[in-house]
Every structure is written in C-alpha cells, then in structure tokens.
Amino acid sequence: MLPDLERLIRLQRLDDATVETRRAVAAIPARMTALEARLQASRTRAEDARRRQEEARKSRREVEKRLGEIQGRLTRFKDQLMAVKTNKEYTAMQHEIATAEGEVARLEDTILEHMLEADELDAAADAAERADREESAAVERERAELDEERAAMERRLEGASDERAKLTGSIGAASLRLFESIAVQRRGLAVVEARNGHCTVCNVRLRPQVFNQILLNTELIRCESCLRLLYHDPDRPADPPAEAPAANGRAG
C-alpha cells in the first residue's frame, strides 16, 4: 500500500475516534443534569410522602381535639342532668346528651379511619425515604463513574492529539494538504472505503478501471462524485451479490 495512503487511513480513523470522543465528552453535562433530575424527583417523592403523612397526623390531631371538646361537653351535660327541675329541661338535656354521644361515636370512627390510614402512610413514607437513600447512593456512584469516564476521555483526547501530531509529521506535505482540504469541505470525512465498485459514502458506482486502480492501493484516487479519497480494505470480505428477483410464472 502507498505509505501516504496507509497513513491517511490511520489519520482518518484517528480523527473519527476523536470526534466521537469529543461528542461523548460534550454529552456528559446533560447526563449529569439527568442524574440531578432523577435525584430531585426521588427527593420530591419522599417529601410528598412525608407531607401526606404529616397532613394526616394534623387532621387526626384536630379530630382528637374536637373529640376531647365534645367529651368534655358530654360530661357537663351528664352532670347537669342531675340538677334539672322539670321534665322539659330533662328531655332537652337528654337530647343534648344523645347528640353529643352521636358526635363522639362519629369522631371515634373518624379517628379509627385515620389510624388505619396512618399505617399505610407511615409505610409509604418509610419506603419513599428508603428509595430516596438508595437513589441518592446510586446517583453518587454514577456521578463518580461519569467523572472517571470524562477524565479517561480527556486523557484519550490528549493522547490522540500527540499521536496525530506524530502521524501528520510522517505524511507528505501534498498528501496532507489534500486530506485537510477535503476534510474541511466534507465535514471531516476525507478518506473512505470503496467496496463492490461503489464509494461507500455517496454510493456512486465507480468506473471499472478506476475501481481496479483503487484495489491496488498504490495511489491517491478521489471519488468522481463526492471527491473523497478512496481505498480498498483487503481484509474486508466482499458483500454477497444481491439476489435476482424471482421470475413470474412457472418455467416451461
């Protein structure tokens, strides 16, 4: 293989890997933001569960306070019942006592409902806090992994920069200028494989004599359509030929 062509292929692969690495580094802040969103969502779920728990407790305390007031009133009514003078007063007091006892029964049922609800809310709040602790630990691990991943990629970029400098220094000036000119025009993709008689990027069919020259890998040849440099990879097996469409009808 032409030495400059072999080096340009390596340079293209190095540049491609560098672009992918830079893209991965650039994506890390968004991944960090997603981790923060996960953590915030977990904390919100835990806070909401505790808020519902506290609201239920507050509501129960209000009911218990109301029950205490009614029970106190009921006690006074029963004390006053012994001091009434007339049947009318007695009947009225009995009505007040019955009303108070009914309210006590209702409030006691409400408190029982609160107690049953409290068991569910306590369990839900505990589960949400447990999940939040686990999510926090998981997010911290993933943050650390992302930091390590970013550091490794930055080291890789630094090494790729050094490798590129050495590699470009070994390529002929004219060949390097051609590569860089095409790379600028073609968004960084200057060297591509030709396979089965086609440019693998623009998919244009190459003239047979041109493709035969490419198979030798002995000179720099450009695609007549996209103008990229073409090469042949002898280690890649040729694609299988496309199947012919099935004939209609039955052979005679």
CATH assignment at residue 26: 1.10.287.1700
* Cβ-Cβ contacts under 8 Å for 190 (sequence gap 6 or more): 8, 12, 179, 180, 182, 183, 228, 229
pLDDT at 148 over 50: yes
Which pLDDT band holds residue 127 (cuts at 50, 70, 90)? Answer: very high
**Residue with token string 């030929």:** 241
Beta strands in the chain, from DSSP E residues, in sequence order: 191-195, 198-199, 221-222, 229-231
164 and 40 in a common domain: yes
Question: Is 145 inside a domain boundary?
Answer: yes
pLDDT at 232 over 70: yes
226 and 105 in a common domain: no
pLDDT at 87: 87
pLDDT at 85: 82
pLDDT in tens, 6-35: 999 999 999 999 999 999 999 999 999 999
For the chain, what is the mean pLDDT? 92
Counting beta carbons within 10 angstroms of the beta carbon of residue 156, is it exposed (0 to 12), middle (13 to 18) or buried (19 or more)? middle
44 and 115 in a common domain: yes
User: What does pTM read for this prediction?
Assistant: 0.71
- The closest of 128, 122, 131, 68 to 100, measured between CA atoms, is 68
Last residue of a domain, one of 117, 138, 169: 169
Q: How far is CA 71 from the centre of its chain?
A: 57
Last residue of a domain, one of 169, 184, 199: 169
Question: Is 63 inside a domain boundary?
Answer: yes
186 and 165 in a common domain: no
Which pLDDT band holds residue 37 (cuts at 50, 70, 90)? Answer: very high
Which pLDDT band holds residue 58 (cuts at 50, 70, 90)? Answer: very high
Question: Is 250 inside a domain boundary?
Answer: no
pLDDT at 81: 84
- Count up the domains in the chain and report the number: 2
In contact, 68 and 161? CB cutoff 8 Å: no
Question: Is 219 inside a domain boundary?
Answer: yes
- What residue type is 237 in one-letter code? P
pLDDT in tens, 177-229: 999 999 999 999 999 999 999 999 999 999 999 999 999 999 999 999 999 99
Name the residue with higher pLDDT: 252 or 116: 116
192 and 110 in a common domain: no
How crowded is residue 238: how many other Cβ atoms within 10 Å of its Cβ? 8
Name the residue with higher pLDDT: 150 or 83: 150
Structural domain containing residue 69? 20-169
Strand-pairing partners, residue 230, are 192, 221
Name the residue with higher pLDDT: 42 or 240: 42
pLDDT at 240: 61
Strand (E) or helix (H) holding 79: helix 3-81
Counting beta carbons within 10 angstroms of the beta carbon of residue 142, is it exposed (0 to 12), middle (13 to 18) or buried (19 or more)? middle
pLDDT at 65: 94
Average confidence (pLDDT) over 62-80 = 91
pLDDT at 41 over 60: yes
pLDDT at 89: 86
Which pLDDT band holds residue 244 (cuts at 50, 70, 90)? Answer: very low
DSSP letter, residue 205: B
pLDDT at 161: 96
154 and 185 in a common domain: no
